[in-house]
Amino acid sequence: MNNKFIPKLKIIPLGGLEEIGRNMTLIEYARDIIIIDMGLQFPEENMPGIDYIIPNIAYLKGKENYIRGVIITHGHFDHIGAIPHIMDRIGNPTIFTAKLTRAMIEKRQEEFDKKEKLSIYTINEQDQIQLGQFKVEFFKVNHNIPDGYGVIVHSPVGTVIHTGDFKFDPTPIGDLPANKEKLAKMGKQGVLALMSDSTGAESPGHSISEKTIMETLGKIIAEAKGRIILATFSSLISRIQQVIFIAEKLGKKVAIEGFSMKTNVEICRKLGYLKTGKKILISTKQALKLPKDKIIILCTGAQGEEAAVLMRIANQDHKEIEIEKGDSVIFSSSVIPGNERSVQRLKDNLTRLGADIFHVKMMDVHAGGHGFVDDLTEMITLTKPKYFIPVHGNHFMLKLHGDIAKNTNLVPEKNIFICDNGQIMEYHKQDETIVGELTKRKVPAGHVMVDGLGVGDVSNVVLRDRQAMAEDGMFVIILTMDGKTGKLVSDPDIISRGFVFMKESKRLIGQTKERIKRIVIDHDPRTSSNDTYIRNKVRDQIGQFLFTKTQRRPMILPVIIEI
Amino acid sequence: MNNKFIPKLKIIPLGGLEEIGRNMTLIEYARDIIIIDMGLQFPEENMPGIDYIIPNIAYLKGKENYIRGVIITHGHFDHIGAIPHIMDRIGNPTIFTAKLTRAMIEKRQEEFDKKEKLSIYTINEQDQIQLGQFKVEFFKVNHNIPDGYGVIVHSPVGTVIHTGDFKFDPTPIGDLPANKEKLAKMGKQGVLALMSDSTGAESPGHSISEKTIMETLGKIIAEAKGRIILATFSSLISRIQQVIFIAEKLGKKVAIEGFSMKTNVEICRKLGYLKTGKKILISTKQALKLPKDKIIILCTGAQGEEAAVLMRIANQDHKEIEIEKGDSVIFSSSVIPGNERSVQRLKDNLTRLGADIFHVKMMDVHAGGHGFVDDLTEMITLTKPKYFIPVHGNHFMLKLHGDIAKNTNLVPEKNIFICDNGQIMEYHKQDETIVGELTKRKVPAGHVMVDGLGVGDVSNVVLRDRQAMAEDGMFVIILTMDGKTGKLVSDPDIISRGFVFMKESKRLIGQTKERIKRIVIDHDPRTSSNDTYIRNKVRDQIGQFLFTKTQRRPMILPVIIEI
């Protein structure tokens, strides 16, 4: 039989391998495709005005009928965020996910005005789901949102494990440790390929247990004389649980501030993912009537986000909470790259108002949700994969994670695949053994930018223009010309924004108008076919003139109005 | 005698107390003013297109004749960078600084086309300089550029110490430890006020010694099989010295790449601040002919700067150096907030080309130039000041540094002055003792922005416009109207940039033109006094229309051309 006709198992990561974010992986065999995660990424600093970036799904066009299901590992936006933008374009296949993640997905879906309703099947860790020729199982992982699961995909060619986001926490709070037994069992049965979370690959040792974080937080909260304001991510449910446990122990009450955090807490309580003792949670109004040492306010805004609760408090813009001397503000989160300076300004403002600040640089008030080098090593030694594919990270992190795998001596170097987004991996049987190949072939995987209602309609031209105008502003020159004589019928009109302050630059504007007139007069006689020529000449010469005068390069836009 | 006529000692920080950068402090007594440092600050992320920010010198207007001298503590841009912009506006007073700093100032001055030449006096640590009623002395500090000095100002009211940037390094490389003896002596004689560097106030313990850094670097370099490329700040002379020492020990050669680093190395060698053994430094051309394990390339670009050497190497844009598998790239620098993502991309690209990356998150390959909590405590216990003024840091850092002072139990809390830029401190004799006061009075200290040739001419209006255009672009609507009838003589002209891609949005543009026409027609009949009214109406209604269609808010600029 010719090799060509034996189907190969394909693994295609559509996102998450050249960035942190927009995680999405396809696993394909013959006419069966399953998708793992469908996340968004926040824009880079050279993408002004962009809301976020989603995976490119061009490869799935025409293959909609082969999609057997979408598996979502957990409820964070870098894993669920692209669902509202993608699902109805791929035929709305069934989503398989855990209870809490389902609620997060449904909550987000409400914010979008979609015709078709999602169809979601709620999974348990014990479930085995047949999706075409794939049999799919799940294993519990620790992360900083409950109900996170890794995925085991049994295919005709072999078993693929995708960890999702994970850490191994022997002492999590309000949760059980990850299911290492199931992983060890898979390791014994034989794992073809392991796709594992690389976010923590730069950090040596084991990730810090949530128990340690809880102890540090407990100490700060117990010792504080005034009120406690603790800011964290609204989706960091395990941190919220810790604070509630601490409050119970110390006889304090907790008020939640911030819409997204309130909603998440409501969802988690309803589904049983957040244990709250009797009357621990009260409203901010009630809290503010209690003695200061009885209050913990849990809120959003630890990243210095413009409109979040903590920023409004710092700007004295919050309608109920005002910082008083002696209040303790705890930043229980890492600072996402790009937010450092906003966070710094936020701390400055809170300090000015009299607050004492605690943050992660000073003590262990936060742990991330991702395993460090030792955890990553353990994942590999448990599963003993034949092939190893680091995922969820920038290329550099994938490479480091590849080195970690190499150091285990369990995976030969040639079986470690450091891939790009869109790059196709293939696995097939050859002489009784399975051979994997990282092919050179790529499916489209470029940035798809979401800006307002537009998905993918912001081109690089538009972005370049935004950047240019941000740098030195723009300068529109309107030439009203007689269509017959080619003469200016009036002085050129100038509109400038973001370049110089017009009121204070009258002289420069006057000189510029004189130059423009000279350029047009020099050019006489003119025919209308010369519009482009005049425009280019004005653009070049006025651009040069303004640069000489100011060393700035505004975007120059000459317009000719013919009358 | 009336108290009013006894002059007070005034200390006025003009910059560096609400930011890291643009350090500048005035010390004033009667008709004598001395200035300490004159630095620049790099712009915040909400200041697109701005080159940098300098201190506001409005307070010195009319007082030029009282300025007795400008003392510069060391050669970093946040201490010398505003000199070319400020000196000729305050009458070009004499600068007093150490030899290397002088050379750095003169080098920078060459980049500006100034009529007046700076007058600079080179100081030694033993010097005592009389500047009006002030006697000024210096004490050696450790920092990551040689020739850094703190300043001791003896005034008729008491002694003020300004540390400049400092750390205490018992084992610096190619340098001596800071002069603690002189500080202790001052402490015994009595110090009125200590102004001390707060940059490291968040970090517990002692700062890492350069010796430790040298050991780690030595180990990496000794173990590497391929070439070494080490990137650091061009002004980090002590790091450059370490690498040269390591190269000598290991029998390797060093090539310097990057214009600013080359210049700095040249200056330092000439002045004896960099010890280079025989023929250690060679050109890159020569280096590339040697065996790979004999080469260290020292270069700029560890911050991911667009045009720097390391970025060009990573982009395969460098004319001589190409990354080969097995090269080790060491990032020997911290990442300045705001640069994280560029650095991440840089590491990704280098990894792709086959390099092994070492950076500070993974091991001790860099130490900053600023003391940590224990160093800061020691500075206070040595000098035993009556008043303490934390400087050089954001408000939050100043506050933490104030807490450090409080914890020494040497300075009473009421004598710790956490100031803002521009805030006036006053000290005067009262009943045989000196009384200090942090007044509520402020001199102008707002941002002065430098953009190209313009100093202070970019207003908040201009910045706001740049930000708005960066966010959603702009949309110019040109209405050519008959001045008599108020009717449109042709279809409206539209220029849009950074909003939507025009070619792909023909339908939207067509609909918009129709709407504009309707607005103008509805408005008939019209008089020319109604121009503003029509423009506002077009701006509001078209703005709303485009938002409904796209959920973007471009800046809308209606122009009426009357013919």
Q: Could you report the per-residue pLDDT of B91-135, keeping only the tens digit for each? A: 999 999 999 999 999 999 998 877 679 999 999 999 999 999 999
Lowest mean pLDDT among A276-280, B63-67, B309-313, B393-397: A276-280
Report residue A499 as tokens. 């370049």
Cα distance from N-terminal residue to C-terminal residue, chain B: 76
- Give residues with Cβ within 8 angstroms of A215, minimum separation 6: none
Please report the pLDDT score of residue B100 as a whole number: 96
Please report the pLDDT score of residue A3 as a whole number: 52
Nearest CA in chain B to A51: B471
Lowest mean pLDDT among A252-256, A295-299, B324-328, B500-504: B500-504
Please report the pLDDT score of residue A405 as a whole number: 98
**A43-57, A438-452, B380-394: which is most confident:** B380-394
How many CB contacts within 8 angstroms connect chain A with chain B?
A: 202
Please report the pLDDT score of residue A522 as a whole number: 72
Kindly state the percentage of chain A with pLDDT values over 70.
Answer: 98
Contact A453 B561 (CB under 8 A): no
Over 50: is that where the pLDDT of A409 sits?
yes
Nearest CA in chain B to A468: B470
For A344, which of B361, B394, B474 is closest by C-beta distance?
Answer: B394
Four-point Cα dihedral B392, B394, B397, B398, nearest 10: 60
Answer whether the bond into residue A525 is a cis peptide, omega within 30°.
yes
A467 phi and psi, to 5 degrees? -65, -45
Chain A nearest C-alpha distance from B54 (Å): 18
For A466, which of B344, B498, B504 is closest by C-beta distance?
Answer: B498
Please report the pLDDT score of residue B1 as a whole number: 44
Instruction: List chain A residues with CB under 8 Å of B472.
Output: 49, 451, 466
Mean pLDDT of B190-214: 94
Assess whether B79 carries a catalytic annotation.
no
Q: Exposed, middle or buried by CB within 10 Å (0-12, 13-18, 19+), for B503?
A: exposed
Report residue A531 as tokens. 């519009």
Contact B453 A549 (CB under 8 A): yes
- Which of A32, A78, A165, A197 is catalytic? The answer is A197
> Pick from A128, A126, A127, A110: which is nearest to A118 by CA?
A110
Render pLDDT for A452-476 as a digit per residue (tens, 0 to 9). 888 887 778 888 899 999 999 999 9
Query: DSSP labels for B376-432?
Result: HHHHHHHH-EEEEEEESB-HHHHHHHHHHHHHTTSS-GGGB----TTEEEEEEEETT
Please report the pLDDT score of residue A527 as a whole number: 53
Over 70: is that where the pLDDT of A27 sits?
yes
> Pick from A464, A127, A345: which is nearest to B469 by CA?
A464
Chain A nearest C-alpha distance from B522 (Å): 23
Render pLDDT for A314-350 as a digit per residue (tens, 0 to 9). 999 999 999 999 999 999 988 887 788 889 999 999 9
- Give residues with Cβ within 8 angstroms of A143, minimum separation 6: A74, A164, A165, A166, A167, A369, A370
Please report the pLDDT score of residue B3 as a whole number: 52
Q: How many CA atoms lie within 13 A of A438 on its CB side?
A: 17
How far apart CA A201 and CA A401 sit, in angstroms, is 5
Banded pLDDT at B562 (limits 50, 70, 90): confident
Render pLDDT for B294-348 as a digit per residue (tens, 0 to 9). 999 999 999 888 889 999 999 999 999 999 999 999 999 888 877 888 899 999 9
Mean pLDDT of B77-100: 96
Over 90: is that where the pLDDT of A183 sits?
yes
* Higher per-residue confidence, B359 vs B483: B359
Please report the pLDDT score of residue B4 as a whole number: 58
- Which of A74, A76, A366, A370 is catalytic? The answer is A370
User: What 3-state class would DSSP assign to B99?
Assistant: helix
- Which of B165, B169, B197, B451 is catalytic? The answer is B197
Over 50: is that where the pLDDT of A361 sits?
yes
Chain A nearest C-alpha distance from B163 (Å): 23
Over 80: is that where the pLDDT of B530 sits?
no
For B559, which of A44, A362, A493 is closest by C-beta distance?
Answer: A493
Over 90: is that where the pLDDT of A14 sits?
yes
Given a contact cutoff of 8 angstroms between Cβ atoms, the answer to whether A171 and A339 are in contact is no
Over 80: is that where the pLDDT of B56 sits?
yes
CA angle B413, B416, B422 (to 5 degrees): 145
Please report the pLDDT score of residue A520 as a whole number: 83
Lowest mean pLDDT among A103-117, A245-259, B170-184, B411-425: A103-117
**A324-328, A430-434, A530-534, B381-385: which is most confident:** B381-385
User: Across all residues in chain B, what is the average pLDDT?
Assistant: 92
Please report the pLDDT score of residue B68 as a whole number: 98
Banded pLDDT at A558 (limits 50, 70, 90): very high
A325 phi and psi, to 5 degrees? -55, 135
Banded pLDDT at A524 (limits 50, 70, 90): low
Query: DSSP labels for B104-155?
Result: HHHHHHHTS--SSPP-EEE--TT--EEETTEEEEEEE-B-SSSS-EEEEEE-
How far apart CA B159 and CA B181 sit, in angstroms, is 17
* Higher per-residue confidence, A452 vs A351: A351
Instruction: List chain B residues with CB under 8 Å of A338.
Output: 338, 340-341
Given a contact cutoff of 8 angstroms between Cβ atoms, the answer to whether A439 and A28 are in contact is no
Render pLDDT for B405-439 as a digit per residue (tens, 0 to 9). 999 999 999 999 999 999 999 999 988 899 999 99
Sheet containing A253-257: order of strands: A281-282, A253-257, A295-299, A228-231, A328-331, A356-358
Over 70: is that where the pLDDT of B2 sits?
no
Kindly state the percentage of chain A with pLDDT values over 90.
Answer: 74
Chain B nearest C-alpha distance from A12 (Å): 19
Query: DSSP labels for A349-368?
Result: HHHHTT-EEE-TTTS-----
Four-point Cα dihedral A390, A394, A400, A404, nearest 10: -30
Assess whether A370 carries a catalytic annotation.
yes
Banded pLDDT at A70 (limits 50, 70, 90): very high
Banded pLDDT at A539 (limits 50, 70, 90): very high
**What is the rounded radius of gyration, in angstroms, for the C-alpha atoms of chain B?**
29
Contact B557 A478 (CB under 8 A): no
Contact A480 B480 (CB under 8 A): yes
Contact A452 B552 (CB under 8 A): yes
Instruction: List chain A residues with CB under 8 Å of B479.
Output: none
Instruction: List chain B residues with CB under 8 Å of A357.
Output: 396
